[in-house]
C-alpha cells in the first residue's frame, strides 16, 4: 500500500511544477506534522486529517495551477526564471505549431518530399481501406442485415456444405422453424430473359424470388411495389436497368415488359438504386450466366414452376435449386438457429431416407456468404499496404532523426533557456504530426485516384468491392491514420530531442557524432525495414509463383484461336427436325467465315459459364437416390470436341451420321473423371446410364466414348465427372457456340454478328475469345498479385533508400575515423569493406527475421497459394539474396565516397 507521505506527494502533482520545486518539501513537512498531531488525538482524527489534507492539496493545487495560467497569460513571456517552460498548455501548443510551420517553410524540399511520401502511403492504405470497408465492414443494403442468414443443404456425400436446397426442405424449414422470423427462397441462379428492344432484343438477368423476399430484406420499392402472391405475370425492375432501358421514366409502373417468347409481363415496381440483390456469391454454382447482378425480379411460384411440386402434389424433395435466406428472431443466435434447423434436417432425413439422407443444413451470416470468399485476399492486401506504410514511417523517422541531430544545438539552447523535456518532446511531435496531417490532406486526392485505379483493375466479379467510395468512414480512417503516422514517425526523433541536455549547447557541436544509443536506434530501424521488406516480398514472390503455376495449368483444351458466344434459338424451331436443320444452316454459314476450321458448341462453356449437376443411374446398379453419383450434364453441338481440341481417350465422339439414330437409341460421351469414378476397373464405353433417379425402360443412354477432362469452373479445380449428350438428340435453345480459326479469334466477331443477323437470330451475348475467358478466370489472382507485387517493388525501393540513408550518415560521421585509418595505412578497400560489411550485417539480420516471420505467417495465406508450398525454398532463398544485394548496392555508393576521403582534410575538419 501507499504510505500517507507518498499519497500526499502524488496529490502535490496538482500544483504547477515551479510551485512544487519551491515549496513542495515544506508543504509536505507541514502536512505530515499536522497529521501526526491529529493522530496523537486519536485514530479518527488522524484519518480525517489525512483525507482532508490530501483533498485540500489537490484542490489548492488545481486552483494554483489555474491562477498561474492567468498570471502567465497576463504577463506573456515575463516569467520568473525558475518557472520552466512546460508542455500541454494552450500557449505552448500555439507557439510550437508556429515554430513547426517555420521549420517546414524553411526547408520546403524536405517538407514536400515528406508530405508527398506520406500522402502516397496514407492514400494507398485508405484506398485499400475503402475497398475493405465497402466489401467487409459496411452492412449489406438490407434492413437489419446483421440478422440475415443464408441457408444451404449440407451435402455430405459431395462434401459440399453450400448445396442448394430442395423446395420440400425450404417449405419444411419455413413452416416449422421457431428461431427464424421469416424465410424466403430464390432460384440459386439467374435466368436469362430476352426483352424486345426496337427491332431486336436484349438479354437481361432475372432473379426469381419468393413472394415475401423484399419484406424479408426490409426494403421497399422506390416506385410502385414489390412482388407478392399472385404476381406470376408481373416483374420488378432494378434501378440500373430502369435507368438504362427506360431512361428513368417514372410512369413505367403498369406498363408491359416485352419479354420475347413468353406471356405478357407487367412492370409493378422499381427498386432503389442502392438495392443489390442477390449478390452473385449468394447464389449456387449452377445456372447459365455469370452475371453479377439482377436486372429484374420475377415471382417464384408453383403455378409457373412445375418442378416445385412432385407427381403427388407435394413439394419436391429431389431437385435442389433454391438459395434460401432467413431472418433470425431477436435474441436468437446463429448457433441456436443452426441447432434447431439441424435437428429438423435430421428428422426429415429419417422420415425420407431416399431423398434426404446426407442432406444436413448450413446456416451462415449473409455477409459471410456474400464476401467470405474474398476476405483472405482483402486481408492480404491490407497487410501488404500496412507493411508499406510502416516502411514509409521508418524512412521518414530516419530522416527526421537525422534532422533532429542537426538541430541538437538549437534544442540544447532551448533546454538551457528553461524548456522542459516534455516541451522539447511536444515541439518535435507537433512537427511530425503537422507533416502527417498535411500528408493526410494530400492523401484525400490520392485516395480518390487510388480507389478508381483499384476499381479499374479489380475484376468485376469481386462482390461489393465496386461499391468502394470516398465515404465518411474512409475520411475518418484518413484522419485517424494521419494522426497515428504523425506520432509513429515523430516519437523516436522526439525522444532523442528531449534527451538533449542544456550543457550540450556549450559544447562544440560541430564535431558531434551520433551517440551509441542513436546508432543502435538507427540500426534497429534498418533491421526492421529489411525485415518488413523481406516479409512483403516473400509474400509477393509466393503469389507470383502461384500465378505462374495457375497459368501453367493445362485446362484440358486448346485455349488459343477460339471464339465463343451465346445464342438463343427462337421458339419457331420447335420441332426436332426444324431445330437440327437450323443448326446445320448455322454451321455452314459460320464455317464459311474466313479462317474458320471447326464449329461446335455446348450448353456450358469451360471457364465461361456455370455448372449444372444431375444424378446418374447406371444400368444394373439399383441405388437409392441419395447414393447416386452426381455428375455435370451438358449437350454438345456439332464438332465441340474438335473445336476445343479436347482429346478422345477411348471410343468415339458424336458425328453427323448419329442423326440417323433419331431418338430411339440415345448416346452419350463421358469425361475421364466420370469413367474412373463411376466405372473403376472397367471400360465405360458400351455401358448404359440414365439421368435422374427414376429410370424408364426405354430411356437408357449408351456411352460411346471417353474424352479428356477439362477445367470447367476454374483452372484451380479438380475436374468433376461430366457427361455430354448430342444436340442431335435434344437441340439446346441457349447454347454457347465455339468456332476455331486459323487466325485471330477476335477478328471473327463482326462476321459472327452478321451471320446471326442473316439467320434472324438476336445478337450474341457473352461474346469472348477463349483466351479472354482464361484471363478473366484468373482475374482475382491477377488483381491481388498486381497490388502485392507493386507493394513489394515499392518495399524494396524503400528498404534500399533506408539503407542508403543510414550508411551515408554513418560514413559522414566516421569521416575523421576513416581519415585516421587511411593515414595509418589502411587501404581504401578496407574502408569500403568496413562500411558495406556493416550494411550487409544489418541486412542479413533483417533478412533472417523477415524470412522467419514469413515462414511463420504464410501458412495463414495458404488459401491464396496454388501449386507452391508456403515455405517454397526458391522464393525464400531468392528474396533473401535479392534483399542482401540491395543492401550492398545501397551501401556501396556512400562507402565509395568515404573511401575517397583525403586523410589530411578528414583530420583537419
Partner 1 sequence: MPYKPSDALLPLTPVAFEILLALAEENLHGYAILQAVESRLEGLLPLRTGTLYRSLARLLEADLIDEIPGGDPADERRRRYRITPHGRKVAAQEAARLEGQVTAARARRLLPARKSRP
Chain residues that interact with partner 1, rule: CB under 8 A: 19, 22-23, 25-27, 29-31, 33-34, 52-53, 56-57, 59-61, 63-64, 67, 80
Measured from the CB of residue 16, what is the shortest distance to partner 1 in angstroms? 10
Rounded to whole angstroms, the Cα distance separating 838 from 484 reads 32
Looking at beta carbons only, is 71 or 759 nearer to partner 1? Answer: 71
Cis omega before residue 888 (within 30°)? no
DSSP per-residue letters across 120-179: HHHHHHHHHHHHHIIIIISPPSSTTGGGEEEEEEEETTTTEEEEPBPHHHHHHHHHH-SS
Nearer to partner 1, 34 or 702 (CB): 34
What's the min distance (Å) between Cβ of 502 and partner 1? 24
Question: What minimum distance in Å lies between the beta carbon of 78 and partner 1?
Answer: 8
- In the complex, the smallest distance separating the C-beta of residue 10 from partner 1, rounded to whole angstroms, is 15
Q: Helix axis angle, 472-498 relative to 375-406, nearest 10°?
A: 30
Closest to partner 1 by CB, 35 or 389: 35
Q: Name the nearest CA neighbour of 161 among 330, 382, 364.
A: 364
Nearer to partner 1, 18 or 553 (CB): 18
Quick check: helix, strand or coil at residue 671?
strand
What is the DSSP secondary structure assignment for residue 682, as one 8-state letter? S
Q: Which is nearer to partner 1, 24 or 642 (CB)?
A: 24
Cβ partners under 8 Å of residue 540, min gap 6: 384, 785, 788, 789, 791, 792
As a whole number of angstroms, the distance between CA 853 and CA 532 comes to: 9
Given a contact cutoff of 8 angstroms between Cβ atoms, the answer to whether 121 and 392 are in contact is yes
- Identify the DSSP state of 761: P
Residue 40 or 742: the one with the smaller Cβ distance to partner 1 is 40
**In the complex, what is the shortest distance from the CB of residue 44 to partner 1, in angstroms, rounded to a whole number?**
17
Q: What is the largest CA-CA distance in the chain?
A: 123
Bridge partner list, 600: 638, 738
Provide, rounded to whole angstroms, the least separation between the CB of residue 493 and partner 1: 37
Which residues, 6+ apart, have CB-to-CB distance to 419 below 8 Å?
Answer: 84, 85, 427
**Closer to partner 1 by Cβ: residue 32 or 319:** 32
Task: Report, in Å, the least distance between residue 66 CB and partner 1.
Answer: 11
503-537 as b/e, with b when 16 or more CB fall inside 10 Å?
Answer: ebbeeeeeeebbeeebeebbbebbbbbbbbbbbbb
Q: Which is nearer to partner 1, 31 or 142 (CB)?
A: 31
Nearer to partner 1, 26 or 698 (CB): 26
Q: Crossing angle, helix 90-106 and helix 421-457, to 10 degrees?
A: 60
Beta bridge partners of 267: 235
- Per DSSP, the residues of 260-295 read TTS--EEEEEE--TT---S-GGGS-SBSS---SS-S
Instruction: Report which secondary-structure segment, H or E, holds 704.
Output: strand 701-707
Query: Considering beta carbons, is residue 54 or 631 the nearer one to partner 1?
Result: 54
Q: Minimum Å distance from CB 51 to partner 1?
A: 13
SS3 46: helix
- The phi and psi torsions of 44 (rounded to 5 degrees) equal -60, -45
Q: Which is nearer to partner 1, 49 or 252 (CB)?
A: 49
Q: Considering beta carbons, is residue 31 or 791 the nearer one to partner 1?
A: 31
Task: For residue 729, give the nearest of 660, 670, 782 by alpha carbon.
Answer: 660
Query: Collapsing DSSP states into helix, strand and coil, what is residue 796?
Result: helix
User: Is the CB of 61 or the CB of 555 nearer to partner 1?
Assistant: 61
**Shortest Å distance, C-beta 99 to partner 1:** 28
Comparing CA positions, the residue from 10, 157, 22, 3 lying closest to residue 83 is 22
Residue 570 near residue 760 (C-beta atoms within 8 A): yes
Q: With respect to partner 1, which residue has the nearer C-beta, 67 or 551?
A: 67
124 and 449 Cβ atoms separated by less than 8 Å: no
Closest distance between partner 1 and the C-beta of residue 33, in Å?
4
- If the CB atoms of residues 26 and 198 are measured against partner 1, the closer one turns out to be 26
User: What CA–CA distance (Å, rounded) separates 737 from 621?
Assistant: 36
What are phi and psi for residue 507, nearest 5 degrees?
-80, 160
Q: Which is nearer to partner 1, 26 or 247 (CB)?
A: 26
In whole angstroms, the minimum distance from the beta carbon of 530 to partner 1 comes to: 55
The CA distance from 706 to 711, in Å, is: 16
> Taking the complex as a whole, how short is the minimal distance between the CB of residue 422 and partner 1, in angstroms?
22
Length, in residues, of the chain: 909
Whichever of 14 and 416 has its CB closer to partner 1, that residue is 14
**Burial class of residue 479, CB neighbours in 10 A (0-12, 13-18, 19+):** middle
Give the nearest distance from C-beta 386 to partner 1 in angstroms: 51
Q: Do 260 and 211 contact (CB within 8 A), yes or no? A: no
Provide, rounded to whole angstroms, the least separation between the CB of residue 90 and partner 1. 23
- Taking residue 26's Cβ as centre, other Cβ atoms within 10 Å add up to 9
In the complex, the smallest distance separating the C-beta of residue 46 from partner 1, rounded to whole angstroms, is 15
Tell me the three state secondary structure of residue 651.
strand
Amino acid at each position: 500500500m501507499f504510505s500517507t507521505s507518498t499519497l500526499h506527494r502524488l496529490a502535490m502533482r496538482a500544483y504547477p511544477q515551479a510551485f512544487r520545486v519551491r515549496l513542495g518539501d515544506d508543504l509536505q513537512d507541514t502536512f505530515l506534522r499536522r497529521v501526526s498531531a491529529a493522530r496523537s488525538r486519536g485514530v479518527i482524527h488522524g484519518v480525517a486529517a489525512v483525507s482532508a489534507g490530501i483533498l485540500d492539496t489537490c484542490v489548492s493545487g488545481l486552483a494554483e495551477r489555474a491562477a498561474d495560467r492567468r498570471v502567465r497569460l497576463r504577463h506573456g513571456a515575463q516569467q520568473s526564471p525558475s518557472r520552466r517552460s512546460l508542455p500541454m498548455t494552450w500557449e505552448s501548443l500555439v507557439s510550437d505549431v508556429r515554430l513547426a510551420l517555420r521549420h517546414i517553410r524553411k526547408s520546403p524540399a524536405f517538407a514536400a518530399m515528406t508530405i508527398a511520401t506520406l500522402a502516397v502511403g496514407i492514400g494507398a492504405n485508405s484506398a485499400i481501406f475503402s475497398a475493405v470497408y465497402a466489401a467487409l465492414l459496411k452492412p449489406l443494403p438490407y434492413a437489419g442485415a446483421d440478422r440475415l442468414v443464408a441457408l444451404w443443404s449440407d451435402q455430405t456425400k459431395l462434401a459440399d456444405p453450400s448445396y442448394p436446397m430442395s423446395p420440400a426442405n425450404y417449405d419444411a424449414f419455413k413452416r416449422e422453424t421457431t428461431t427464424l422470423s421469416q424465410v424466403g427462397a430464390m432460384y440459386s441462379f439467374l435466368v436469362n430473359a430476352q426483352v424486345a428492344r426496337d427491332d431486336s432484343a436484349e438479354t437481361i438477368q432475372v432473379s426469381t424470388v419468393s413472394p415475401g423476399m423484399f419484406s424479408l430484406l426490409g426494403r421497399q420499392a422506390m416506385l410502385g411495389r414489390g412482388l407478392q402472391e399472385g404476381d406470376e405475370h408481373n416483374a420488378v425492375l432494378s434501378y440500373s436497368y430502369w435507368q438504362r432501358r427506360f431512361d428513368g421514366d417514372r410512369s413505367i409502373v403498369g406498363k408491359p415488359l416485352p419479354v420475347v417468347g413468353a406471356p405478357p409481363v407487367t412492370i409493378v415496381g422499381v427498386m432503389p438504386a442502392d438495392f443489390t440483390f442477390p449478390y452473385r456469391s449468394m447464389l449456387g454454382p449452377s445456372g447459365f450466366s455469370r452475371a453479377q447482378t439482377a436486372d429484374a425480379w420475377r415471382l417464384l411460384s408453383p403455378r409457373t414452376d412445375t418442378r416445385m411440386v412432385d407427381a403427388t402434389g407435394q413439394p419436391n424433395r429431389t431437385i435442389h435449386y433454391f438459395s434460401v435466406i432467413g431472418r433470425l428472431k431477436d435474441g436468437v443466435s446463429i448457433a441456436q438457429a443452426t441447432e434447431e434447423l439441424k435437428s429438423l434436417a435430421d428428422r426429415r432425413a429419417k422420415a425420407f431416407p431416399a431423398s434426404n439422407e446426407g442432406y444436413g443444413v448450413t446456416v451462415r451470416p449473409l455477409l459471410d456468404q456474400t464476401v467470405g470468399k474474398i476476405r483472405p485476399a482483402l486481408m492480404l492486401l491490407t497487410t501488404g499496404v500496412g507493411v508499406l506504410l510502416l516502411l514509409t514511417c521508418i524512412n521518414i523517422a530516419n530522416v527526421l532523426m537525422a534532422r533532429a541531430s542537426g538541430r541538437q544545438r538549437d534544442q540544447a539552447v532551448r533546454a538551457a533557456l528553461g524548456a522542459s523535456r516534455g516541451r522539447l518532446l511536444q515541439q518535435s511531435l507537433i512537427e511530425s504530426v503537422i507533416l502527417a496531417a498535411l500528408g493526410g490532406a494530400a492523401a484525400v486526392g490520392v485516395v480518390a485516384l487510388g480507389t478508381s485505379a483499384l476499381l479499374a483493375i479489380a475484376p468485376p466479379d469481386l462482390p461489393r468491392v465496386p461499391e468502394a467510395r470516398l465515404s465518411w468512414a474512409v475520411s475518418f480512417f484518413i484522419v485517424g491514420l494521419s494522426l497515428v503516422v504523425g506520432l509513429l514517425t515523430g516519437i523516436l526523433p522526439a525522444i532523442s530531442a528531449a534527451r538533449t541536455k542544456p550543457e550540450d549547447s556549450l559544447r562544440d557541436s560541430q564535431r558531434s557524432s551520433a551517440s551509441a544509443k542513436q546508432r543502435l536506434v538507427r540500426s534497429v530501424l534498418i533491421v526492421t525495414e529489411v525485415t518488413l521488406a523481406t516479409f512483403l516480398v516473400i509474400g509477393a514472390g509466393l503469389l507470383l509463383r502461384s500465378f505462374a503455376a495457375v497459368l501453367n495449368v493445362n485446362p484440358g483444351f486448346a485455349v488459343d484461336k477460339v471464339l465463343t458466344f451465346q445464342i438463343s434459338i427462337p421458339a419457331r424451331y420447335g420441332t426436332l427436325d426444324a431445330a437440327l436443320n437450323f443448326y446445320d444452316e448455322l454451321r455452314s454459314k459460320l464455317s464459311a467465315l474466313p479462317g474458320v476450321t471447326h464449329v461446335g458448341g455446348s450448353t456450358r462453356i469451360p471457364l465461361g459459364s456455370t455448372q449444372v449437376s444431375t444424378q446418374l443411374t447406371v444400368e444394373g446398379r439399383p441405388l437409392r437416390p441419395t447414393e447416386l453419383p452426381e455428375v455435370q450434364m451438358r449437350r454438345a453441338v456439332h464438332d465441340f470436341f474438335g473445336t476445343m481440341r479436347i482429346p478422345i481417350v477411348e471410343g468415339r465422339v458424336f458425328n453427323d451420321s448419329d442423326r440417323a439414330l433419331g431418338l430411339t437409341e440415345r448416346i452419350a460421351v463421358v469425361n475421364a473423371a466420370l469413367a474412373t469414378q463411376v466405372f473403376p476397373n472397367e471400360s465405360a464405353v458400351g455401358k448404359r446410364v440414365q439421368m435422374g433417379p427414376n429410370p424408364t425402360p426405354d430411356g437408357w443412354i449408351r456411352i460411346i466414348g471417353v474424352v479428356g477432362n477439362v477445367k470447367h469452373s476454374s483452372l484451380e479445380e479438380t475436374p468433376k465427372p461430366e457427361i455430354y449428350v448430342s444436340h442431335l438428340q435434344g437441340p439446346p435453345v441457349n447454347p454457347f457456340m465455339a468456332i476455331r480459326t486459323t487466325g485471330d479469334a477476335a477478328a471473327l466477331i463482326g462476321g459472327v454478328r452478321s451471320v446471326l443477323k442473316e439467320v434472324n437470330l438476336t445478337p450474341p451475348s457473352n461474346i469472348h475469345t477463349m483466351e479472354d475467358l482464361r484471363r478473366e478466370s484468373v482475374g482475382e489472382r491477377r488483381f491481388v498479385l498486381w497490388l502485392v507485387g507493386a507493394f513489394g517493388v515499392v518495399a524494396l525501393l524503400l528498404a534500399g533508400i533506408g539503407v542508403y540513408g543510414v550508411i551515408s550518415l554513418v560514413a559522414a560521421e566516421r569521416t575523421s575515423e576513416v581519415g585516421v585509418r587511411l593515414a595509418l595505412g589502411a587501404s581504401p578497400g578496407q574502408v569500403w569493406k568496413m562500411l558495406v560489411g556493416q550494411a550487409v550485417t544489418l541486412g542479413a539480420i533483417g533478412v533472417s527475421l523477415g524470412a522467419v516471420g514469413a515462414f511463420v505467417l504464410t501458412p495463414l495465406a495458404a488459401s491464396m497459394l496454388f501449386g507452391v508450398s508456403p515455405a517454397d525454398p526458391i522464393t525464400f532463398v531468392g528474396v533473401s539474396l535479392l534483399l542482401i544485394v540491395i543492401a550492398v548496392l545501397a551501401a556501396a555508393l556512400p562507402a565509395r565516397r568515404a573511401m575517397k576521403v583525403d586523410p589530411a582534410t578528414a583530420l583537419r575538419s
